[in-house]
Amino acid sequence: MSATATGWLLTAVAETSSEGSTDHASERLANEPVQPIAPYQSEHPEKVELGKKLFFEPRLSRSGFISCNSCHNLSRGGTDNLPTSIGHNWQEGPINSPTVLNAGLHMAQFWDGRAATLQEQAAGPIDNPMEMAYTHTLAIEVLRSIPAYVDMFEAVYATRDIGIDHVTDAIAEFEETLVTPNSRFDQWLRGDDSAITADELAGYETFKSIGCVACHYGEALGGKDFHRMGLVHEYLTENPSQGRFEATGEERDRFSFKVPSLRNVERTYPYFHDGAVWTLAEATEIMAYLQLGRELPQADIDNMVAFMRTLTGEQPQITLPQLPPSTENTPQPVPFERE
């Protein structure tokens, strides 16, 4: 956690004295394996605003139709709520689109962790022929042809010579702001005992005692490790992904995936890297069986689902950006291929 976030946390804890003592809150924060999410205050608001425009910019795609927000829809928990995504020319994506919310809290990006940073991730979909199907060169040419964009890049990066690294840096900075603080569970972590119910608390206790928390811990309840999907029992899927093996080539990484965050998990269905499961109850039952070898009573599942619903935080409030119009020099979109 950054120094700023820690500072915010201590202030927040100090303010909980009406609900519980500061000691009570400090003790809980020190002992629980989950930490509250801190709001993200960017020191570069102009960069964030530029990044927001680019996040919603369909002209970064060959068709002029697909933007980052198409598959990481900020109206829908930062996902498309589809098993796998729709790409250029309605191609079927290979894997479930992970949420962009709180992604900055993860150690790496993509299910296989092949991008170390948000910036590195942002470059991927633009020129992936299955996704936005463009080239970095053409995407840059689009932006350079639009004076309003050139001015914005100059204000942020002090150059009119826009490059792909500027584009991905701005998108990444916008994405850093997409955190979801102040969930009911975070209120509880900060000492407010009344923020969650007895059933929800019981669900959290089960979540810890049976071992879910071994992978789903930290601010994001996930995003900190890779683990094999199907640890005790094999996971049967038609999805061909080999997981982290595809990034490292190491045999031990086969079927290993980045642990997904459980933040806002009630909004990020369907679940797993193949998007095969639609309900939290089913996902919970399956994970307990596959990873921990447990067959849980329904009451435990119900409570754990209730607990997971307390992880929905404040969704980022986004004012829809206004994108500057193309000029006669802007490369035209190619929505349909002609022979």
Binding site for a copy of itself (CB under 8 A): 56, 58, 63-65, 70, 73-77, 80-83, 86, 89-90, 92, 266-267, 269, 278-279, 315, 317-323, 325-326, 328, 332-333, 335-336
Pick the catalytic residue: 49, 57, 131, 173?
Answer: 131
Q: What backbone torsions phi and psi does residue 152 show, to the nearest 5 degrees?
A: -65, -45
Which CB atom, from 106 or from 267, has the smaller least distance to a copy of itself?
267
Burial of 92 (0-12, 13-18, 19+ CB in 10 A): exposed
**CB 70, min distance to a copy of itself, A:** 8
Q: Which two tokens stand for residue 158?
A: 């002090």
* Widest pairwise Cα distance in the chain: 71
Give the residue with the Cβ less far from a copy of itself, 12 or 305.
305
Q: Which is nearer to a copy of itself, 68 or 247 (CB)?
A: 68
152: its two tokens: 């914005």
Nearer to a copy of itself, 21 or 279 (CB): 279
CB of 37 to a copy of itself, least distance (A): 17
Q: Residue 43 or 336: which CB sits closer to a copy of itself?
A: 336
Cα–Cα distances in angstroms (integers) from residue 132 to residues 59, 81, 157, 178, 241, in the given order: 9, 18, 25, 22, 20
Least Å from the CB of residue 24 to a copy of itself: 32
| C-alpha count within 13 angstroms, C-beta hemisphere, residue 109 | 21
Spatial distance between the Cα atoms of 52 and 42, rounded to a whole number of angstroms: 13
> Has 131 been annotated as catalytic?
yes
Q: Are the CB atoms for 162 and 170 separated by under 8 Å?
A: no
Give me the least distance between CB of 36 and a copy of itself, in Å please.
Answer: 21
Q: How far is the CB of 214 from a copy of itself (least distance, A)?
A: 27
Measured from the CB atom, the residue of 73 and 303 that comes closer to a copy of itself is: 73
Minimum Å distance from CB 17 to a copy of itself? Answer: 31
Q: How far does Cα 115 stand from its chain's mean position?
A: 13
User: Are 21 and 175 a contacting pair, CB within 8 Å?
Assistant: no
Buried/exposed 131-156: b ≥16 CB within 10 Å, e otherwise:
bbbbebebbbebbbbbeebbebbeeb
Q: What is the DSSP string of 47-98?
A: HHHHHHHHHT-GGGSTTS---HHHHSBTTTTTB--SSS-B-GGGPBPSSPPP
Task: Give the integer Cα–Cα distance in Å for 249 and 235.
Answer: 20
* Residues acting as catalytic residues: 131
